[in-house]
Structure 1
């Protein structure tokens, strides 16, 4: 019995030694490595798993303004975490509909709080799949505000103005592509 244990133990050590001496480059950065370098969840590289909500946006040529805004508001790591999230993602064309200078103004460091509020108004905690969305449904957003869903003839709208163009599943939630930027109602005093 003792001899069998020694053989198994020796085999395990040899296997470990051989695998540690492999010349193969790692394909991913572990969460521990990311944490030790001070980088957040967004620094973890994983080319094999499904994309998270941030990676979906980064991979879309129609969401470069949104990605720039997420970076300016320091929300990339938060939205790269496990979630689950429902993100209503305005396209570049949606941002272009805002009054001239609005986006540039919001990207300034002194406007970070306002930008964060707007971006968080586009995010819900939880996954609201298309078949779960109902006409008249009110959904709480991360910024503390609420959005309302309207559904007619299979078409989904948010706050009566933003049309849902597409729904893209992500590893940590779902991304709804929308054609308007959602602006939170003014804070009530």
Structure 2
């Protein structure tokens, strides 16, 4: 009986091996290596798995309305700040807010020689602590990571921070993201 099973097992093993080799290709291995290389150049801040809840940076990266903010965060080398444990509240300007800056302002800020100024501006959008929308009360001043205080105003049409209306709010694993329609330039100088 075992003599009959041996050729069958050999053929089964050989056919499985042939199928595995035929289904795989050198290109897919090269692609996986390229994907790993590209991912490792961006650091751990960009690693996300299917079971992870999004942190502040993941939310920004995943939003088509925040590509300019993500570019500014990267140019200022602040990615790891937005993935740290926090808690942190970020007022995230939409792309249109950056587009509304005076012509040439963003291009100038993104230059390597202006990295510190850009970092100050990006940091002026972050407050240490987790501040859900319902916590923000009219007349309060919110302490920002740059040491500045920004006024909070609650109007009939919504909540405003530094004159910018909060358009939406998203909870992150390490804090809150409040989407705003204006760039805070309080720390530019």
Is this a same-fold pair by TM over 0.5? yes
Find the counterpart in structure 2 of residue 170 from structure 1. 172
Alignment of 1:35-114 (within 5 A): 40-114=43-117
Aligned residues: 150
Q: After TM superposition, where is structure 1 displaced by more than 2 Å over at least 4 residues in a row?
A: 37-41, 43-47
TM-score, normalised by the number of residues in structure 1? 0.75
- Following superposition, the deviation at residue 40 of structure 1 comes to 5.0
The gaps in structure 1 that reach 5 residues or longer are: 1-36
The 3 A distance-change label for structure 1 pair 143 and 41 is farther
Deviation digits for residues 17-36 of structure 1, max 9, x if unmatched?
xxxxxxxxxxxxxxxxxxxx
| Aligned counterpart for 1:122 among listed residues 121, 125, 131 | 125
- After TM superposition, the structure 1 stretch with the greater mean CA deviation from structure 2, 59-68 or 44-53, is 44-53
- Following superposition, the deviation at residue 50 of structure 1 comes to 1.1
SS of 1:131's equivalent in the other structure is helix
Question: Following the alignment from structure 2 to structure 1, what is the Cα–Cα distance between the partners of residues 136 and 172?
Answer: 17
| Aligned counterpart for 2:182 among listed residues 171, 180, 183 | 180
- Following superposition, the deviation at residue 47 of structure 1 comes to 2.3
Question: Following the alignment from structure 2 to structure 1, what is the Cα–Cα distance between the partners of residues 116 and 109?
Answer: 9
